[in-house]
A and B are shown apart, each in its own frame.
Chain A
Amino acid sequence: MDGIKLVNVGKYYTVKREQVKVLEDINLDLPANKITVILGRSGCGKTTLLRLVAGLETFEQGEIQATHVKRKAYVFQEDRLMPWLTVRKNITFGLKDKEIDHEKISGIIQMVGLEQFEAAYPVQLSGGMKQRASIARAFAYNPDFIMMDEPFSALDYFTREQMQKELLKIHHKTKCSILFVTHSIDEALILGDKIVILEKGIIKSEYEIEKDHERDLLSDKFVALKKQIMDDLKVV
């Protein structure tokens, strides 16, 4: 399967009759079966880029080639669960009744640690639990392409680490392509096969990391890479 290609993409907003550019001349390859991480500070256009790829927003310039992507899932920054559905029904929201494999859904619910809450309504859950349910909804959809917008930022350190591991496990198993947006350099280093640094709507640099079994962020290779990325982001 081919990846997704962004050619010369530009996006502008009009604020008080003045054009504000959000993204400019984005040329980007999202390789198939790989995890691409978009890294950048708040307001650099990460979410907008994701929404363009998802088709949730129109853009003024360029082209996005993604015709072969059939099933795409999106994990939003907020949980966006349907308040009138139980956790289980929310997780199967993207599926038609015939497509639901109950055993598999139970497995996913167990993976996100919500087995005791599958009959609960979102209003009864904590913020982190809701976010986990919304991640489960994306996985349950059997997507060949998942877009994730800072999905783990509402979770505590331990859950976050566990969810990152689960994401990698699912990725290995299903080989789906993932486009992941984050502002955490560590998270980008743990997950990314390709890391794209976005700064003020322009791609500043791209890094590719070889597939390793276990990534040790304290190894010399990753410490050096982190330094370089921090330089790119001008973090003092």
Chain B
Amino acid sequence: MKESKSIKTFISVALIVLIWGIVAEMGVVSSYILPSPNKVIESFVKMVKSGEIFEDIYISYIRVLKGFLISTLAAFALAMMRVVFCKASGYYEGIVQFLKNVPPLSLISLLILWFGIGETTKIGIIVLTAFFPIYLNTVKGFTSCDKKLLEVGEIYGYSKVGSFFKIRLPYAMSDILVGMRIGLGYSWRAIISAEMIAASAGLGHMILFAQQMSRTDKVIVGILVIGVVGYITDRLFALVIDKTLKGSEKNGWD
């Protein structure tokens, strides 16, 4: 099953590369607009040898992890507050819903004005992007907890705290992890846009710089690297989810 899936993936990828190669070879479009696969591979190898690509990946990745960590903690804290102090949520729920509808990129000019073009701005963009899926899914996980299971805890003498850790939290775990997975994907998208606007290093900056230097081959290398790194991160996270959520139904993500 798994083997046939990877064979199918390989076939479709090979087909796309083949068509790309033929089109580039035919010279229908100029090599500036569509460089040949060979050229792209060549510049990829060059960038690997010089190590510059790893530096960019590393810089972008650290930013994503920082932003993702902050948004996870903030989302979890606010979601828990909503569960524990139901009435407190009225104070911030409206603001959260408002910010949810504001695209983080529209805030970038303000962020640059306030924090400069340093790390804070980029991480801020990631937090603003990743926070909402994590927060909303965590809240959903906590509030949709099966009342029937909570009653079991009540019968067996669990305190409110005990029932939170033994029933509510494990019950919400699948929603929390799905939210985190979406949040991680969003962070990865957001960092590239943020780096294209205000950065001197990282994958987004690398792509923009290559475009300004008319190096379309490097642009394509950048896009492919972003896709592959994002894909690997997502798979790793899916693996963690799979190991954590024993006994629950498959959620159809794989």
Contacts and interface: CB of A to CB of B under 8 A. Distances in A.
Interface in A80-130: 80, 82-86, 93-94, 121-124
Interface string B237-254: 000000001111100000
Interface residues of A, number: 22
B154 to A, nearest CB: 7
B149 A80 contact: yes
Which has the most chain A C-beta neighbours within 10 Å: B155, B157, B170, B171? Answer: B155
A122 B170 CA distance: 15
Contacts of A85: 247
A32 interface: no
Decide if the interface of chain B is mainly helix, strand, loop or mixed. Answer: helix
Interface of B: 148-149, 151-152, 154-157, 166-167, 170-171, 173, 245-249
Given A76-B148, A78-B148, A84 B155 contact: no
A123 B248 contact: yes
A146 B170 CA distance: 27
Which has the most chain B C-beta neighbours within 10 Å: A54, A84, A123? Answer: A84
A84 B245 contact: yes
Contacts of B152: 74, 76, 80, 82, 93
Which has the most chain A C-beta neighbours within 10 Å: B149, B151, B152, B171? Answer: B152
A123 B157 contact: no
B170 A121 contact: no
Given A80-B148, A82-B167, A84-B170, A74 B247 contact: no
Nearest to A134: B152
Given A84-B246, A86-B247, A141 B149 contact: no
Nearest to B174: A84
Nearest to A141: B156
Contacts of A124: 247
A4 to B, nearest CB: 15
B155 A54 contact: yes
21 contacts: A54-B155, A56-B151, A56-B154, A73-B155, A74-B152, A76-B148, A78-B148, A80-B151, A82-B167, A83-B247, A84-B171, A84-B246, A85-B247, A93-B166, A94-B155, A94-B156, A121-B246, A121-B247, A123-B247, A123-B249, A124-B247
A82 B247 CA distance: 9
Given A74-B155, A94-B157, A84 B249 contact: no
Interface of A: 54-56, 71-74, 76, 78, 80, 82-86, 93-94, 121-124, 141
A62 B173 CA distance: 41
Contacts of A54: 155
Given A56-B154, A94-B156, A84 B248 contact: yes
B156 A93 contact: yes
Given A82-B149, A85-B247, 16 more contacts: A55-B154, A71-B157, A72-B155, A73-B155, A74-B152, A76-B152, A80-B149, A80-B151, A84-B171, A84-B248, A93-B166, A94-B155, A94-B156, A121-B246, A121-B247, A123-B247
Nearest to A89: B247
Contacts of A86: 247
Nearest to A86: B247
A55 B166 CA distance: 21
B3 to A, nearest CB: 26
Contacts of B151: 56, 76, 80
Contacts of A80: 148-149, 151-152
Contacts of B248: 83-84, 123
A56 B149 CA distance: 12
A93 B163 CA distance: 11
A161 B4 CA distance: 49
A151 to B, nearest CB: 14
A85 B248 CA distance: 9
B158 to A, nearest CB: 9
A9 B71 CA distance: 51
A82 B148 CA distance: 10
A82 B246 CA distance: 11
A96 B152 CA distance: 15
B52 to A, nearest CB: 45
B150 to A, nearest CB: 10
Contacts of B155: 54, 56, 72-74, 94
A80 to B, nearest CB: 5
Contacts of A82: 149, 152, 167, 170
Nearest to B156: A94
B182 to A, nearest CB: 21
